[in-house]
């Protein structure tokens, strides 16, 4: 089938070739010694080394409707950072170091500039984590994605020594819960935010300066998801469990690290809720319970440590805040926020 026939069908194979050339260059800049071969093969090869008894930890996720904000603002590099940091934070909760990352990008009409912007963000985040961007898929699918719509999914594989796996099983009543601050919504709650501010109907609201935030609403919403790998890695030997506060907020995520029969008692006065969350709550007249179920409220990661280790972990991570403690669950909910 000729190139002209493909173009009539909405597929530009020349643009795809140009995009691949740009992607390959960015991906190669992230390669670590474990990468075998090159980009472009049907499968990516990676040799795991430096472990005595490694356990591989894998995770996949998407950026969600934050992509809609990126599309409306024509800025895609930050969501590339988002997908890497989100997925690597998730495997960090098991104690795993990220080894390599793959992506899927789908769009109706392939734009080489858009692809390069997305991959540049992923490459930047991967290099900061010493994680290889080892492969992926870029799909041009007219009719499946409409207009400027973009889909972005990431897949990460990491490793941890078997005897160093963090699974929460050692958490006990009386353990201290430490919270690490977030820098914004990260990658969750964007469908609600778009509705509350009428963004889809009037995208110009994204460009309006907001005094409470000190920046435009759009800039605040595109702040990249924080990575907690560098902060937490030196303290992993003292951490019993971790909860990455993503979709579901405190209510759904904290119980994922707790053994049966235990609950988390969180003190909401222990940290200041950032202005962005206050603005959202006011705009939608949303109750505290719902805010805590949807958003991270300024705390992006919660870790459980023994009382005797809390001081040393906080010394290594000055940003860490004591946000609560572990207690017997009784007949109540697993997360109680007062």
pLDDT computed for residue 18 by the predictor: 65
From CA 250, how far away is CA 261, in angstroms rounded?
A: 18
Pair (30, 117) in one structural domain = yes
- Please identify which residue in the block is written with the tokens 């691949």: 20
pLDDT at position 335: 87
Domain final residue pick, 104, 135, 164: 164
Chain-centroid distance, C-alpha 79: 9
The burial of 80, by beta-carbon neighbours within 10 Å (0-12 exposed, 13-18 middle, 19 or more buried), is given as buried
Kindly state whether residue 169 falls inside one of the protein's structural domains. no
The tokens describing 233, both together, are: 């890695």
Q: Which helix (H) or strand (E) holds 328?
A: strand 321-328
What was the pLDDT predicted at 1? 45
Q: Find the domain containing 50 and state its range.
A: 3-164
Task: Yes or no: say if 119 and 168 are a contact pair by the CB < 8 Å rule.
Answer: no
Assigned domain for 170 exists = no
Instruction: Give the pLDDT of the chain (338 residues) as one tens digit per residue.
Output: 445 544 544 555 555 556 677 888 899 999 999 999 888 788 999 999 999 999 999 999 999 999 999 999 999 999 999 999 999 999 999 999 999 999 999 999 889 999 999 999 999 999 999 999 999 999 999 988 888 889 999 999 999 999 999 999 999 999 999 999 999 999 999 999 999 999 999 999 999 998 989 999 999 999 999 999 999 999 999 999 999 999 999 999 999 999 999 999 999 999 999 999 999 999 999 999 999 999 999 999 999 999 999 999 999 999 999 999 999 998 777 888 98
Residue ending a domain, choose from 132, 164, 196: 164
List, for residues 266-293, the tens digit of each pLDDT value: 999 999 999 999 999 999 999 999 999 9
| Residue 79 belongs to some domain of the structure | yes
- Residue 51: the pLDDT is 95
Residues 149 and 193 in one domain: no
Are 82 and 44 within one domain? yes
Q: Is residue 121 part of a domain?
A: yes
Beta bridge mates, 215: 210
The answer to whether residues 234 and 277 belong to one domain is yes
Question: Same structural domain for residues 253 and 315?
Answer: yes
Query: Does one domain contain both 242 and 99?
Result: no
Q: Could you tell me the two tokens for 56? A: 């591989």
Count of domains forming the chain = 2
pLDDT of 9 reads: 45
Q: What is the mean pLDDT of the chain?
A: 92
Q: Are residues 329 and 218 in the same domain?
A: yes
In this structure, is residue 113 part of a structural domain?
yes
Residue whose pair of structure tokens reads 């709650």 in the numeric block: 189
Domain CATH number, residue 64: 3.30.1330.10
Cα 255 to Cα 168: distance, rounded to the nearest angstrom = 10
**What is the CATH number for 313?**
3.90.650.10
pLDDT at 22: 80
Say if residue 108 is in the same domain as residue 207.
no
Clarify whether residues 76 and 101 are in a common domain.
yes
**DSSP 8-state code for residue 309:** G
User: CB-side exposure of 121: number of CA atoms within 13 Å?
Assistant: 26
**Of the residues 164, 189, 208, the one at which a domain ends:** 164
The answer to the question of residue 171 being in a domain is no
- Regarding whether 147 and 206 lie in a shared domain, the answer is no
Tell me the β-bridge partners of 107. Answer: 140, 150
Please check whether residues 119 and 218 belong to one and the same domain.
Answer: no
Q: Give residue 14's pLDDT.
A: 52
In this prediction, residue 240 carries a pLDDT of 98
Is residue 256 located within the same domain as residue 118? no
């Amino acid at each position: 089938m000729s190139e002209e026939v493909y173009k009539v069908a909405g597929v530009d194979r020349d643009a795809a070739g140009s995009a691949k050339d740009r992607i390959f260059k960015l991906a190669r800049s992230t390669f670590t010694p474990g990468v075998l071969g090159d980009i472009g093969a049907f499968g990516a090869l990676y040799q795991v080394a430096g472990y005595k008894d490694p356990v591989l930890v894998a995770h996949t996720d998407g950026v969600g409707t934050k992509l809609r904000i990126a599309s409306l603002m024509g800025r895609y590099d930050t969501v590339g950072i988002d997908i890497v940091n989100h997925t690597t934070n998730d495997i960090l909760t098991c104690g795993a170091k990220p080894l390599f990352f793959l992506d899927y990008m789908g769009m109706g009409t392939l734009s080489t500039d858009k692809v390069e912007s997305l991959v540049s963000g992923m490459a930047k985040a991967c290099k900061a984590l010493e994680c290889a961007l080892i492969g992926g898929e870029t799909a041009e699918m007219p009719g499946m994605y409409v207009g400027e719509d973009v889909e972005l999914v990431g897949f990460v594989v990491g490793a941890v020594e078997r005897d160093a796996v963090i699974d929460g099983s050692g958490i006990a009543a009386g353990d201290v819960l430490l919270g690490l601050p977030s820098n914004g919504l990260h990658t969750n709650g964007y469908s609600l935010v778009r509705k509350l501010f009428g963004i889809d109907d009037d995208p110009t609201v994204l460009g309006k300066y907001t005094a409470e935030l000190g920046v435009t609403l759009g800039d605040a919403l595109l702040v990249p998801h924080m990575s907690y790998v560098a902060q937490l890695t030196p303290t992993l030997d003292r951490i019993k469990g971790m909860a990455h506060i993503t979709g579901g907020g405190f209510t759904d995520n904290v119980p994922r690290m707790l053994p049966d029969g235990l609950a988390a008692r969180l003190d909401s006065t222990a940290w200041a809720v950032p202005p962005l969350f206050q603005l959202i709550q006011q705009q939608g007249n949303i109750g505290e319970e719902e805010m805590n179920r949807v958003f991270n409220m300024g705390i992006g990661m919660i870790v459980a440590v023994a009382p005797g280790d809390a001081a040393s972990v906080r010394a290594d991570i000055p940003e860490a805040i004591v946000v609560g403690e572990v207690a017997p669950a009784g007949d109540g909910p697993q997360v109680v926020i007062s």
